[in-house]
């Protein structure tokens, strides 16, 4: 099993990922809601605060109008119109005291109908349009208010007709001109840090901050609130403009975001760890099973792993099923081992018990020949020799069948083998037994084989021995060995120029005790190629044969070429 394919990491990652996604969605929702709440709260606070400012402004302006009206109605003021001496004596100091009464810095003046000052608290400068406006005040006999802009400075002008009591006629105008910043200065500044309220002239871009009177340029960031004023002030368009520092929303949001992010991180990490821990609990029994499965030794079945608590859930049932399967496999393995053992003991019996009588047949025939020679004629002796030959032959057959059966059971250890070199060694041995025959072995280049050295040697012994045997009629025997590398197999061949065989019987050539030549033509039991086939098949390869009567034979075989480990153990 690959460790990187751990269920624990996968479940942990999935749980962590899902939690992260959930937390992210929650976080966005939370952020939006908080933003809305904070904005709403701030707007509410700003509105309340602005309302206070509006009220104070209105109060101030109303008080100004009331004071002015009271002054205009004052007999002393009206009297001063006629009393030129008294003007300086009391009216001007009186007017100067007006400033103290209202707390506003401005100019209060008593003018004639043309706006010309009769008495003044300071220097009164009026615009060119002032005369017409004053005329209206005089004509209507009612107080009026207006904005005027003089030399770039906005100011509020209030005018009240002064009625001479004796005649009941309007004899002059009491006028007050106060710079707009002065109105703003007189009102308390915003009570909220980061919030600014200003007094603005409706429709203009000029405004002044309450409390200080500092000018401020209006932008889109300001909210406008019209100030409703009673007559005569209603004719001047005044607004309270407000602006809140964006930080008032951003800072608490940022702080909340941090808190949320930390909480989210803790939750995500916690959930991930919890999921991993939980899945580890689930996986631990699986790992125990895995370990039990990979290390289970059928030769010494140990079922104690099944006793370990696996619970009664799916994993528990899996473990129980696994244990039951292992139990059945163990039984089957035991049966198989017993069958193998039986087979081995059978082989042993065959090898021992069949050979003993054969030896007796041969031995006593020989003794008969040796000791009763005189009493046996030639035919009798020949018959006894036939008995002996067959006894020996049967011994060979028994040896061969045992060898064949052992080939199927031997352990196989795959190593790289140089078949060319091995063939040379085998060939040298074989040539010793071939007397003075002329035999040549040509070894062509071939890829190294991967297989059990001993078994591949047996393959070469059998193939080369066959080649030596079936080339006996040739004056010069030529045996050729070669091979080539294919995709995932290497193929090899042994070719000879011997008597060959009939391709009609090619299917029989690898069979046990199958011989394509009469017994007396070439010796042998017919086990050689059967053993070759068995060895090659056990290596995961294939065998084939090609031949033609009297024109040589080629036996080929393939072996898996490394890496893939196709070797059947």
Partner 1 sequence: MSINEAVEILLVEDSEADAELTLRALKKHGLANKLVWVKDGAQAIDFLFPPGSQAGPDSPANLKLVLLDLRLPLVSGLEVLRHIKADPRTRTIPVVVLTSSTEDVDVKECYALGVNSYVSKPVSFDEFSKVVADLGLYWLLVNKVSSHRC
Part in contact with partner 1 (CB under 8 A); list of ranges 142-150, 276-284, 361-369, 421-429: 361-369
- Provide the 10 A C-beta neighbour count for residue 295: 9
Considering the complex, state which of residue 11 and residue 455 has its C-beta at the smaller distance from partner 1. 455
What's the rounded Cα separation, in Å, for the pair 453 and 422?
A: 9
Residues whose CB falls within 8 Å of the CB of residue 420, separated by 6 or more in sequence, listed in order: 443, 445, 446, 481
440 counts as binding partner 1 under rule CB under 8 A: no
What's the rounded Cα separation, in Å, for the pair 293 and 69?
A: 108
Considering the complex, state which of residue 166 and residue 410 has its C-beta at the smaller distance from partner 1. 410
356 counts as binding partner 1 under rule CB under 8 A: yes
| Least distance in angstroms from the C-beta of 348 to partner 1 | 5
Please give the span between the terminal C-alpha atoms of the chain, in angstroms, as a whole number: 21
**Do the beta carbons of residue 542 and residue 493 sit within 8 Å?**
no
| Least distance in angstroms from the C-beta of 397 to partner 1 | 10
93 counts as binding partner 1 under rule CB under 8 A: no
| Least distance in angstroms from the C-beta of 313 to partner 1 | 49
Burial class (CB in 10 A: 0-12, 13-18, 19+), 429: exposed
**Do the beta carbons of residue 199 and residue 240 sit within 8 Å?**
yes
Residues whose CB falls within 8 Å of the CB of residue 246, separated by 6 or more in sequence, listed in order: none
341 counts as binding partner 1 under rule CB under 8 A: no
387 counts as binding partner 1 under rule CB under 8 A: no
368 counts as binding partner 1 under rule CB under 8 A: no
Q: What's the number of CA atoms in the CB half-sphere (13 Å) around residue 165?
A: 9
362 counts as binding partner 1 under rule CB under 8 A: yes
Figure out which of the listed residues 364, 404, 522, 544 binds partner 1, where binding follows CB under 8 A.
364
What's the rounded Cα separation, in Å, for the pair 144 and 176?
A: 11
Q: Are strands 195-201 and 206-209 parallel, antiparallel or unpaired?
A: antiparallel
346 counts as binding partner 1 under rule CB under 8 A: no
**Do the beta carbons of residue 273 and residue 24 sit within 8 Å?**
no
What sign does the dihedral 513-518-519-522 (CA atoms) show?
Answer: negative
Figure out which of the listed residues 79, 347, 424, 554 binds partner 1, where binding follows CB under 8 A.
347
Considering the complex, state which of residue 34 and residue 405 has its C-beta at the smaller distance from partner 1. 405
The contact mask relative to partner 1 for 291-330 (x = CB under 8 A, - = no) is: ----------------------------------------
Part in contact with partner 1 (CB under 8 A); list of ranges 47-55, 177-185, 233-241, 393-401: 393-401
What's the rounded Cα separation, in Å, for the pair 401 and 284?
A: 51
Helix (H) or strand (E) holding 41: helix 7-73
Q: Tell me, what DSSP letter sits at residue 546?
A: E
Considering the complex, state which of residue 150 and residue 368 has its C-beta at the smaller distance from partner 1. 368
352 counts as binding partner 1 under rule CB under 8 A: yes
342 counts as binding partner 1 under rule CB under 8 A: no
Binders of partner 1 among 102-121, rule CB under 8 A? none
Figure out which of the listed residues 358, 376, 412, 506 binds partner 1, where binding follows CB under 8 A.
358
Considering the complex, state which of residue 281 and residue 352 has its C-beta at the smaller distance from partner 1. 352
| Least distance in angstroms from the C-beta of 360 to partner 1 | 4
400 counts as binding partner 1 under rule CB under 8 A: no
What sign does the dihedral 48-52-58-62 (CA atoms) show?
Answer: positive
DSSP helix/strand/coil, 507: helix
344 counts as binding partner 1 under rule CB under 8 A: yes
Considering the complex, state which of residue 388 and residue 534 has its C-beta at the smaller distance from partner 1. 388
Residues within the interface to partner 1 (CB under 8 A)? 344, 347-348, 351-353, 355-360, 362-367, 388, 391-392, 394-396, 399, 402
């Amino acid at each position: 099993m690959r460790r990187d394919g751990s269920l624990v990491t996968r479940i942990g990652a999935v749980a962590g990922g899902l939690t992260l996604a959930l937390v992210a969605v929650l976080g966005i929702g939370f952020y939006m809601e908080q933003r809305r709440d904070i904005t709403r709260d701030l707007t509410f606070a700003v509105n309340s605060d602005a309302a206070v400012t509006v009220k104070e402004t209105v109060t101030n302006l109303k008080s100004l109008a009331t004071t002015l009206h009271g002054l205009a109605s004052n007999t002393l003021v009206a009297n001063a119109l006629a009393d030129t001496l008294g003007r300086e004596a009391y009216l001007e100091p009186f007017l100067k005291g007006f400033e103290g009464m209202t707390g506003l810095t401005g100019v209060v003046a008593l003018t004639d109908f043309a706006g010309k000052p009769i008495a003044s608290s300071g220097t009164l400068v009026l615009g060119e349009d002032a005369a017409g406006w004053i005329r209206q005040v005089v004509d209507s006999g009612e107080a009026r208010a207006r904005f005027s802009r003089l030399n770039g400075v906005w100011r509020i002008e209030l005018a009240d007709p002064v009625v001479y009591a004796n005649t009941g006629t309007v004899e002059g105008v009491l006028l007050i001109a106060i710079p707009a910043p002065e109105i703003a200065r007189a009102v308390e500044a915003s009570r909220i840090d980061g919030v600014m309220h200003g007094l603005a002239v409706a429709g203009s871009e000029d405004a002044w901050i309450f409390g200080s009177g500092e000018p401020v340029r209006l932008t889109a960031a300001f909210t406008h609130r019209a100030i409703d004023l009673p007559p005569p002030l209603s004719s001047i368009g005044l607004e309270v403009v407000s602006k809140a520092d964006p930080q008032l929303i951003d800072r608490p949001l940022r702080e909340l975001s941090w808190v949320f992010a930390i909480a989210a991180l803790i939750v995500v990490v916690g959930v991930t760890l919890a999921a991993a821990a939980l899945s580890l609990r689930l996986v631990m029994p699986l790992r125990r099973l895995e370990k039990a499965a990979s290390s289970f030794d059928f030769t010494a079945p140990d079922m104690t792993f099944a006793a370990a608590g696996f619970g009664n859930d799916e994993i528990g049932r899996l473990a129980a099923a696994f244990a039951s399967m292992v139990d059945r496999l163990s039984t089957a393995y035991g049966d198989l081992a017993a069958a193998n053992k039986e087979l081995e003991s059978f082989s042993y019996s065959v090898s021992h018990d069949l050979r003993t009588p054969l030896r007796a047949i041969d031995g006593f025939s020989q003794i008969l020949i040796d000791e009763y020679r005189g009493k046996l004629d030639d035919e009798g002796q020949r018959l006894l020799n036939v008995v002996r030959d067959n006894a020996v032959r049967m011994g060979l057959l028994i040896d061969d069948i045992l060898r064949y059966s052992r080939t199927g059971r031997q352990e196989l250890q795959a190593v790289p083998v140089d078949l060319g070199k091995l063939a040379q060694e085998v060939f040298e041995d074989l040539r010793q037994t071939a007397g003075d025959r002329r035999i040549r072995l040509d070894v062509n280049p071939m890829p190294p084989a991967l297989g059990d050295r001993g078994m591949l040697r047996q393959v070469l012994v059998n193939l080369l021995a066959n080649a030596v045997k079936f080339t006996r009629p040739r004056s010069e025997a030529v045996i050729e060995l070669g091979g080539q590398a294919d995709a995932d197999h290497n193929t090899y061949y042994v070719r000879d120029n011997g008597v060959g065989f009939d391709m009609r019987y090619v299917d029989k050539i690898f069979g046990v005790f199958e011989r394509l030549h009469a017994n007396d033509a070439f010796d042998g039991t017919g086990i050689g190629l059967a053993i070759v086939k068995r060895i090659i098949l056990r290596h995961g390869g294939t065998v084939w044969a090609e031949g033609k009567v009297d024109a040589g034979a080629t036996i080929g075989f393939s072996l898996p070429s490394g890496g893939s480990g196709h070797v059947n153990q």
